[in-house]
Amino acid sequence: MSNKPWGGFAAVVFLTAGLLAGCSDESEPPVGAPNSASAPAPTTEAAATSVPATATPRALVIPKSIPAAAFLQATDVPGKAKEKPSQLGAGDQPLPAFCAKDYEQKNTIGVRGTQSIIFGSKDAPADAIPNGTVYEDVIVYRGSGATAFMTDLRAAVKGCATEKDDSGVALTNYLRGPIDAGDDSELIEQTRPAYNEDGTPVGDGSVHRKLWVAVRVGDTIGFVADIGWESVSAEKNDAVSLGRNAAKRIEAWRK
Protein backbone atom coordinates (compact mmCIF):
# COMPACT_ATOMS: atom_id res chain seq x y z
CA MET A 1 0.00 0.00 0.00
CA SER A 2 1.24 3.52 -0.83
CA ASN A 3 1.81 6.05 2.03
CA LYS A 4 1.36 9.15 -0.17
CA PRO A 5 -2.35 9.77 0.61
CA TRP A 6 -1.64 9.56 4.31
CA GLY A 7 1.31 11.88 3.97
CA GLY A 8 -0.90 14.44 2.22
CA PHE A 9 -3.66 14.05 4.79
CA ALA A 10 -1.17 14.50 7.62
CA ALA A 11 0.10 17.72 6.08
CA VAL A 12 -3.43 19.05 5.88
CA VAL A 13 -4.09 18.08 9.52
CA PHE A 14 -0.93 19.77 10.76
CA LEU A 15 -1.64 22.89 8.72
CA THR A 16 -5.22 23.10 10.04
CA ALA A 17 -4.06 22.58 13.64
CA GLY A 18 -1.54 25.37 13.24
CA LEU A 19 -4.15 27.74 11.91
CA LEU A 20 -6.52 26.87 14.77
CA ALA A 21 -3.77 27.35 17.32
CA GLY A 22 -2.99 30.74 15.82
CA CYS A 23 -6.65 31.81 16.02
CA SER A 24 -6.88 30.68 19.64
CA ASP A 25 -3.83 32.74 20.64
CA GLU A 26 -5.36 35.93 19.20
CA SER A 27 -8.91 35.54 20.64
CA GLU A 28 -8.20 34.34 24.20
CA PRO A 29 -6.30 36.52 26.66
CA PRO A 30 -3.41 35.03 28.59
CA VAL A 31 -3.97 33.77 32.14
CA GLY A 32 -4.24 36.70 34.51
CA ALA A 33 -5.27 39.25 31.85
CA PRO A 34 -8.59 41.05 32.27
CA ASN A 35 -11.60 39.61 30.52
CA SER A 36 -12.59 41.87 27.65
CA ALA A 37 -16.29 41.21 28.31
CA SER A 38 -16.12 42.69 31.83
CA ALA A 39 -13.58 45.42 31.21
CA PRO A 40 -15.06 48.92 31.02
CA ALA A 41 -15.30 50.47 27.61
CA PRO A 42 -12.82 53.27 27.03
CA THR A 43 -14.33 56.68 27.62
CA THR A 44 -14.55 58.76 24.49
CA GLU A 45 -15.09 62.47 24.21
CA ALA A 46 -18.48 61.86 22.61
CA ALA A 47 -19.58 59.59 25.48
CA ALA A 48 -18.45 62.11 28.08
CA THR A 49 -20.39 64.95 26.53
CA SER A 50 -23.56 62.85 26.33
CA VAL A 51 -23.86 62.66 30.17
CA PRO A 52 -26.12 65.51 31.36
CA ALA A 53 -24.54 67.89 33.87
CA THR A 54 -26.19 68.38 37.29
CA ALA A 55 -28.50 71.37 37.02
CA THR A 56 -28.02 74.28 39.43
CA PRO A 57 -31.30 75.06 41.29
CA ARG A 58 -32.95 78.08 39.72
CA ALA A 59 -33.67 81.02 42.00
CA LEU A 60 -37.34 81.95 42.23
CA VAL A 61 -38.39 84.99 40.27
CA ILE A 62 -39.05 88.08 42.39
CA PRO A 63 -42.78 88.85 42.06
CA LYS A 64 -44.06 92.32 41.24
CA SER A 65 -46.27 92.41 44.32
CA ILE A 66 -47.35 90.32 47.31
CA PRO A 67 -50.73 88.64 46.68
CA ALA A 68 -53.42 88.77 49.36
CA ALA A 69 -53.25 84.97 49.69
CA ALA A 70 -49.66 85.19 50.99
CA PHE A 71 -50.79 87.12 54.08
CA LEU A 72 -52.64 85.93 57.16
CA GLN A 73 -56.35 85.52 56.53
CA ALA A 74 -59.24 86.34 58.86
CA THR A 75 -59.52 82.62 59.66
CA ASP A 76 -55.87 82.51 60.80
CA VAL A 77 -56.16 84.83 63.80
CA PRO A 78 -56.87 83.65 67.35
CA GLY A 79 -60.48 84.02 68.41
CA LYS A 80 -62.33 85.98 65.76
CA ALA A 81 -61.34 88.72 63.32
CA LYS A 82 -63.26 91.92 63.94
CA GLU A 83 -62.79 93.12 60.38
CA LYS A 84 -61.30 92.06 57.07
CA PRO A 85 -57.50 92.32 56.65
CA SER A 86 -56.44 95.83 55.63
CA GLN A 87 -53.60 96.48 53.20
CA LEU A 88 -51.23 99.25 54.34
CA GLY A 89 -48.92 101.52 52.43
CA ALA A 90 -45.13 101.35 52.48
CA GLY A 91 -43.82 102.76 55.74
CA ASP A 92 -47.25 102.93 57.44
CA GLN A 93 -46.10 100.45 60.10
CA PRO A 94 -42.30 100.32 60.36
CA LEU A 95 -40.58 97.34 61.94
CA PRO A 96 -39.39 97.77 65.54
CA ALA A 97 -36.12 99.66 65.90
CA PHE A 98 -34.32 97.76 68.69
CA CYS A 99 -31.87 100.53 69.61
CA ALA A 100 -31.83 101.73 66.00
CA LYS A 101 -29.93 98.63 64.86
CA ASP A 102 -30.20 98.12 61.09
CA TYR A 103 -31.32 94.57 60.33
CA GLU A 104 -33.84 94.95 57.49
CA GLN A 105 -31.40 94.36 54.59
CA LYS A 106 -33.15 97.08 52.59
CA ASN A 107 -30.62 96.96 49.76
CA THR A 108 -31.61 93.37 48.91
CA ILE A 109 -35.40 93.69 49.18
CA GLY A 110 -37.17 92.59 46.01
CA VAL A 111 -40.73 93.39 47.04
CA ARG A 112 -42.69 93.79 50.29
CA GLY A 113 -46.23 94.32 51.49
CA THR A 114 -47.94 95.07 54.81
CA GLN A 115 -51.38 94.41 56.24
CA SER A 116 -53.20 94.58 59.57
CA ILE A 117 -55.98 92.61 61.27
CA ILE A 118 -57.83 93.38 64.50
CA PHE A 119 -59.09 90.35 66.43
CA GLY A 120 -61.08 89.65 69.57
CA SER A 121 -62.35 86.76 71.63
CA LYS A 122 -64.32 84.13 69.75
CA ASP A 123 -67.63 84.65 71.55
CA ALA A 124 -67.23 88.33 72.44
CA PRO A 125 -69.93 90.80 71.29
CA ALA A 126 -69.13 92.98 68.31
CA ASP A 127 -68.57 96.09 70.45
CA ALA A 128 -66.19 94.36 72.91
CA ILE A 129 -62.63 95.62 73.32
CA PRO A 130 -60.32 93.77 70.89
CA ASN A 131 -57.67 91.35 72.13
CA GLY A 132 -55.06 92.72 69.80
CA THR A 133 -53.92 94.23 66.53
CA VAL A 134 -51.75 92.18 64.20
CA TYR A 135 -49.41 93.76 61.67
CA GLU A 136 -47.70 91.55 59.12
CA ASP A 137 -44.93 92.30 56.66
CA VAL A 138 -44.19 89.83 53.86
CA ILE A 139 -40.80 90.62 52.33
CA VAL A 140 -39.17 88.80 49.40
CA TYR A 141 -35.39 89.20 49.22
CA ARG A 142 -32.79 88.78 46.53
CA GLY A 143 -29.88 86.43 47.12
CA SER A 144 -29.24 85.62 50.79
CA GLY A 145 -31.04 88.71 52.12
CA ALA A 146 -33.68 86.72 54.03
CA THR A 147 -31.05 84.65 55.84
CA ALA A 148 -29.09 87.79 56.69
CA PHE A 149 -32.31 89.38 58.01
CA MET A 150 -32.74 86.62 60.59
CA THR A 151 -29.10 86.75 61.64
CA ASP A 152 -29.02 90.52 62.03
CA LEU A 153 -32.45 90.63 63.72
CA ARG A 154 -31.25 88.29 66.46
CA ALA A 155 -28.09 90.32 66.88
CA ALA A 156 -30.10 93.56 67.10
CA VAL A 157 -32.40 92.25 69.84
CA LYS A 158 -29.56 90.61 71.75
CA GLY A 159 -27.59 93.86 71.65
CA CYS A 160 -30.60 95.89 72.84
CA ALA A 161 -31.66 94.21 76.07
CA THR A 162 -32.97 97.52 77.39
CA GLU A 163 -33.91 100.81 75.74
CA LYS A 164 -36.32 103.73 76.16
CA ASP A 165 -39.16 104.76 73.91
CA ASP A 166 -39.70 108.31 72.67
CA SER A 167 -41.47 109.26 75.91
CA GLY A 168 -38.70 107.90 78.12
CA VAL A 169 -40.47 104.71 79.23
CA ALA A 170 -38.10 101.78 79.84
CA LEU A 171 -38.45 98.81 77.47
CA THR A 172 -36.95 95.35 77.88
CA ASN A 173 -36.36 93.05 74.88
CA TYR A 174 -36.01 89.27 74.87
CA LEU A 175 -35.19 86.59 72.32
CA ARG A 176 -37.60 83.76 73.12
CA GLY A 177 -36.40 81.21 70.57
CA PRO A 178 -37.84 79.48 67.49
CA ILE A 179 -41.50 78.51 67.11
CA ASP A 180 -41.07 75.49 64.81
CA ALA A 181 -42.24 77.19 61.62
CA GLY A 182 -40.77 77.72 58.16
CA ASP A 183 -37.05 77.26 57.50
CA ASP A 184 -36.16 79.52 60.43
CA SER A 185 -38.10 81.44 63.07
CA GLU A 186 -37.73 83.58 66.18
CA LEU A 187 -40.14 84.83 68.83
CA ILE A 188 -39.32 88.25 70.32
CA GLU A 189 -40.88 89.76 73.41
CA GLN A 190 -40.84 93.38 74.56
CA THR A 191 -42.17 94.48 77.95
CA ARG A 192 -42.82 97.86 79.53
CA PRO A 193 -44.47 98.92 82.81
CA ALA A 194 -48.23 98.44 82.62
CA TYR A 195 -50.54 101.46 82.46
CA ASN A 196 -54.21 101.83 83.20
CA GLU A 197 -56.66 102.88 80.51
CA ASP A 198 -56.43 106.47 81.74
CA GLY A 199 -52.68 106.47 81.16
CA THR A 200 -51.57 106.21 84.79
CA PRO A 201 -49.03 103.53 85.85
CA VAL A 202 -50.52 100.42 87.40
CA GLY A 203 -47.80 100.49 90.01
CA ASP A 204 -47.89 96.83 91.06
CA GLY A 205 -44.95 95.69 88.93
CA SER A 206 -47.08 94.26 86.13
CA VAL A 207 -46.00 94.79 82.54
CA HIS A 208 -47.54 95.35 79.14
CA ARG A 209 -46.26 92.97 76.48
CA LYS A 210 -45.72 93.15 72.73
CA LEU A 211 -44.67 90.12 70.71
CA TRP A 212 -43.08 89.71 67.31
CA VAL A 213 -42.51 86.57 65.28
CA ALA A 214 -40.12 86.44 62.33
CA VAL A 215 -40.38 83.40 60.04
CA ARG A 216 -38.25 82.67 57.01
CA VAL A 217 -39.50 80.54 54.11
CA GLY A 218 -36.76 80.32 51.50
CA ASP A 219 -36.14 83.85 50.23
CA THR A 220 -39.17 85.34 52.04
CA ILE A 221 -39.63 86.79 55.52
CA GLY A 222 -42.96 86.97 57.31
CA PHE A 223 -42.70 89.45 60.20
CA VAL A 224 -45.75 89.33 62.47
CA ALA A 225 -46.37 91.89 65.23
CA ASP A 226 -48.97 91.22 67.92
CA ILE A 227 -49.05 94.49 69.85
CA GLY A 228 -52.11 93.86 72.00
CA TRP A 229 -54.72 96.58 72.39
CA GLU A 230 -54.23 99.72 74.48
CA SER A 231 -53.83 98.32 78.02
CA VAL A 232 -54.37 94.70 76.87
CA SER A 233 -51.10 92.74 76.50
CA ALA A 234 -50.31 90.37 73.68
CA GLU A 235 -50.38 86.66 74.54
CA LYS A 236 -47.54 84.28 73.69
CA ASN A 237 -49.82 81.47 72.45
CA ASP A 238 -51.57 83.92 70.12
CA ALA A 239 -48.27 85.14 68.67
CA VAL A 240 -46.95 81.62 68.13
CA SER A 241 -50.17 80.59 66.37
CA LEU A 242 -50.03 83.68 64.16
CA GLY A 243 -46.39 83.02 63.25
CA ARG A 244 -47.03 79.42 62.30
CA ASN A 245 -50.06 80.34 60.21
CA ALA A 246 -48.04 83.07 58.48
CA ALA A 247 -45.37 80.53 57.55
CA LYS A 248 -47.99 78.17 56.10
CA ARG A 249 -49.47 80.95 53.95
CA ILE A 250 -46.06 81.91 52.59
CA GLU A 251 -45.11 78.27 51.94
CA ALA A 252 -48.33 77.72 49.98
CA TRP A 253 -47.51 80.74 47.82
CA ARG A 254 -43.73 80.69 47.49
CA LYS A 255 -42.70 77.02 47.46
Residues 149 and 229 grouped into a single domain: yes
Evaluate whether 249 touches 120 at the Cβ level (below 8 Å): no
- C-alpha dist (Å) from residue 75 to 60, 67, 85: 28, 17, 10
Residues 103 and 32 grouped into a single domain: no
Q: How far apart are CA 124 and CA 185, in angstroms?
A: 31
Residue 42's CB is within 10 A of a number of other CB atoms, namely 6
Provide φ and ψ at 132, rounded to 5°: 180, 165
Range of the domain at 43: 4-49
Residues 148 and 74 grouped into a single domain: yes
Residues 99 and 177 grouped into a single domain: yes
- C-alpha dist (Å) from residue 116 to 53, 56, 208: 47, 38, 20
Residues 99 and 224 grouped into a single domain: yes
Residues 244 and 156 grouped into a single domain: yes
The answer on pLDDT for 5 being more than 70 is no
Using pLDDT thresholds of 50, 70 and 90, give the confidence band for residue 59: low
Residues 26 and 92 grouped into a single domain: no
Mean pLDDT, all residues of the chain: 82
Residues 39 and 75 grouped into a single domain: no
Evaluate whether 213 touches 27 at the Cβ level (below 8 Å): no
Stretch (H or E) spanning 250: helix 236-254
Q: 219 vs 48, which has greater pLDDT?
A: 219
Cα pseudo-dihedral 62, 114, 86, 79, rounded to 10: 110
pLDDT in tens, 126-181: 888 899 999 999 999 999 999 999 999 999 999 999 999 998 999 999 999 999 99
Residues 26 and 81 grouped into a single domain: no
Q: What percent of the chain has pLDDT over 90?
A: 65
Looking at the domain assignment, is residue 240 inside a domain? yes
Residues 12 and 87 grouped into a single domain: no
Domain count, the chain: 2
Q: How far apart are CA 213 and CA 137, in angstroms?
A: 11
Residues 26 and 143 grouped into a single domain: no
Using pLDDT thresholds of 50, 70 and 90, give the confidence band for residue 125: confident
Looking at the domain assignment, is residue 60 inside a domain? no
